[in-house]
Amino acid sequence: MINTIGLIDYGMGNMHSISKALEHAGGKVTWISNPAELDRVGRIVLPGVGAFRDCARALNETGLGAAIVDRLHAGLPFLGICLGMQVLMDVSSEFGCHKGLGLIPGSVNAFPESHPERGFKIPHMGWNDVVLASGKQPHPVLAPLTGQQVYYVHAYYCAPENPDHLLAACSYGDFPFAAVIGRDNIVAVQFHPEKSQKAGLAMLESFIRWNP
């Protein structure tokens, strides 16, 4: 059980590609669609593609959201990917105001309205940097990303309240945003490691070995 990764299936993740990437990185993956199934895994991955509102609703209606929070409080290592990162926050302004899981204090916001006028298309899509936080040791999951680029697809970004929760950053044009957030047994990335080739696979390998 300790080495089994629970991949949360709530109807909005690119499950097959993430599952294959985790397996390629050495993980044993089981898809989780029922809260009780989380008792059988040793770490959790929450993927996501789509709108925050729909993600939060699905996690609430299935009971998976509350179960994830319980398991994270119990210390299970957790990786959130893209929308699976954003839903950790308190609130999002995407299509209205919607509550998240509240595991990382802060909000999910849109890129500046002026960005497209200045030549920066929304969503932010393609290869870009992941700059690890300076002045402290790299997070063990993120160490393989030093000096690497990764693949992003997103129109909204996370703004954590506590600077200690900002583990890595990126800039789209001249606008900086959180590339990675985390605390304790939680790490979450705005980019898609499953689309980030060798760097992404190396990061997933580090997550599988991580013992917070």
- Answer for the pair 124, 182: CB distance below 8 angstroms, yes or no: no
Upper half-sphere CA count for residue 154 (Cβ side, 13 Å): 31
Domain 4-209 - what CATH class? alpha beta
- Answer for the pair 141, 79: CB distance below 8 angstroms, yes or no: yes
- Answer for the pair 179, 124: CB distance below 8 angstroms, yes or no: no
* Cα separation, 174 vs 1, whole angstroms: 44
User: Of the ranges 55-59, 115-119, 133-137, 152-156, which one carries the lowest mean pLDDT score?
Assistant: 115-119
- pLDDT (mean) for 149-164: 95
pLDDT at 37 over 90: yes
Q: Where are the beta strands (DSSP E) in 13-96?
A: 28-32, 43-46, 78-81, 89-92
Looking at residue 2, what is its pLDDT?
Answer: 58
pLDDT in tens, 40-72: 999 999 998 888 889 899 999 999 999 999 999
pTM of the model: 0.95
pLDDT at 120 over 90: no
Check residue 173 and give left, alpha or beta (phi > 0: left; psi -120 to 50: alpha). Answer: left
Confidence grade of residue 11 (pLDDT, cut at 50, 70, 90): confident
pLDDT at 202 over 80: yes
Which amino acid appears at position 18 of this protein? I
Positions annotated as catalytic residues are 82, 192, 194
Confidence grade of residue 1 (pLDDT, cut at 50, 70, 90): low
Cβ within 8 Å of residue 16, ≥6 positions away: none
Rg value, the chain, Cα? 16
| Per-domain residue ranges of the chain | 4-209
